[in-house]
Amino acid sequence: MEETGGLAYGPHLPFKDGFMAHLLVLEMLAQTGKTLSVLYQDLSKKYGKYYYDRVDFRCDSEEEIKQWLSVSLWEKCLSEKVVSHDELDGEKWYFESGSWVLIRRSKTEPLLRIYFESRNLKFVKKIKELLNS
């Protein structure tokens, strides 16, 4: 699932579809007889909680963009080492805790789209504080 509400589910559709995602959730509700909040609690108990957010961060210069694309800045601010990195869909850093940060440059606006996920709510809050300061 992603922020647009789409879900790619291969057996039925080879592309992302929000309508299909909703139908699958309705099927789970019908099959289990549980409410959506109970299903969420069950998943959280089984797999743990994940915290996710996204910030659109305005950058007015190439120099400012380079600053935010610095691994050392993120390691210092988050007090955690980067253990791996990929450039498949922007700059994505994976940290020791399993948390990650993805930075994508907008092609239409002077923005960095910064996505982040962690099992630790403090990690997510720390990034939001950093970006809002």
Q: pLDDT digit of tens for each residue in the chain (133 aa)?
A: 445 556 677 776 667 778 888 888 999 999 999 999 999 999 999 999 999 999 998 998 888 888 899 999 999 999 999 999 999 889 999 999 999 999 999 888 889 999 999 999 999 999 999 888 7
Quote the CA–CA distance of 28 and 85 in Å, as a whole number.
35
Q: What is the pLDDT of residue 20?
A: 81
The helix/strand/coil state of 74 is helix
Each domain of the chain, given as residue ranges in start order, spans: 1-48, 51-132
In the CATH hierarchy, which top-level class contains the domain 51-132? alpha beta
Q: Are 92 and 84 in contact (CB under 8 A)?
A: no
Q: What is the pLDDT of residue 6?
A: 63
Q: Are 41 and 30 in contact (CB under 8 A)?
A: no
Quote the CA–CA distance of 32 and 27 in Å, as a whole number.
8
Q: What is the pLDDT of residue 2?
A: 46
